């Protein structure tokens, strides 16, 4: 991880910055391979009692989710253990909401985590939305 000087944060716009640390490469929000426009999702999760009881299996589950995201045509943005209201933050891209929902249902059906998902819009997408407001 690369420490970030908050005064020079624009220099690090090629990375996702969380709590002042560049963690992983930022997505190409325009298009994935094959010209498919990708949507970004932020998934907030908490371990269930089952997930906490089997915490040592978490690294294997993370890899399984990563493979499922990629197999569904998505991109892995990062997985973070967090302190506070949520135990986990996962950032992924998916070709559409149906793919994202399918992945979330598959993850949730295992019973190890409960999730909340957020469709995230890039600054450029936001500008386009604002421009269309009457």
User: Would you state the pLDDT for residue 35?
Assistant: 64
Give the tens place of pLDDT for each residue, 81-101. 999 999 999 999 999 999 999
pLDDT at 129: 95
C-alpha distances (whole Å) from 130 to each of 11, 12, 27, 30, 125 are: 26, 25, 22, 18, 9
Does a structural domain hold residue 1? Answer: no
Is residue 110 included in any domain, yes or no? Answer: yes
CB 18 within 8 A of CB 80: yes
Q: Is residue 90 part of a domain?
A: yes
pTM of the model: 0.74
Q: Is residue 106 part of a domain?
A: yes
- How many structural domains is the chain composed of? 1
Q: How far is residue 47's CA from residue 54's CA, in Å, rounded to a whole number?
A: 10
Helix H or strand E segment including 121: none
CATH number at residue 88: 3.30.70.260
* pLDDT band, residue 134 (cuts 50/70/90): very high
């Amino acid at each position: 991880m690369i420490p970030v000087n908050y005064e020079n944060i624009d220099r690090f716009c090629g990375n996702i910055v969380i709590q002042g640390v560049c963690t992983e490469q930022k997505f190409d929000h325009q298009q994935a391979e094959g010209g498919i426009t990708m949507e970004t999702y932020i998934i907030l999760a908490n371990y269930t009692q089952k997930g906490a009881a089997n915490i040592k299996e978490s690294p294997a589950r993370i890899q399984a989710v990563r493979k499922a995201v990629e197999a569904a045509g998505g991109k892995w943005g990062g997985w973070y253990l967090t302190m506070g209201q949520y135990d986990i933050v996962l950032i992924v891209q998916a070709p559409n909401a149906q793919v994202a929902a399918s992945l979330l249902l598959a993850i949730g059906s295992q019973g190890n985590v409960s999730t909340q998902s957020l469709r995230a819009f890039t600054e450029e997408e936001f500008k386009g939305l604002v421009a269309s407001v009457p």
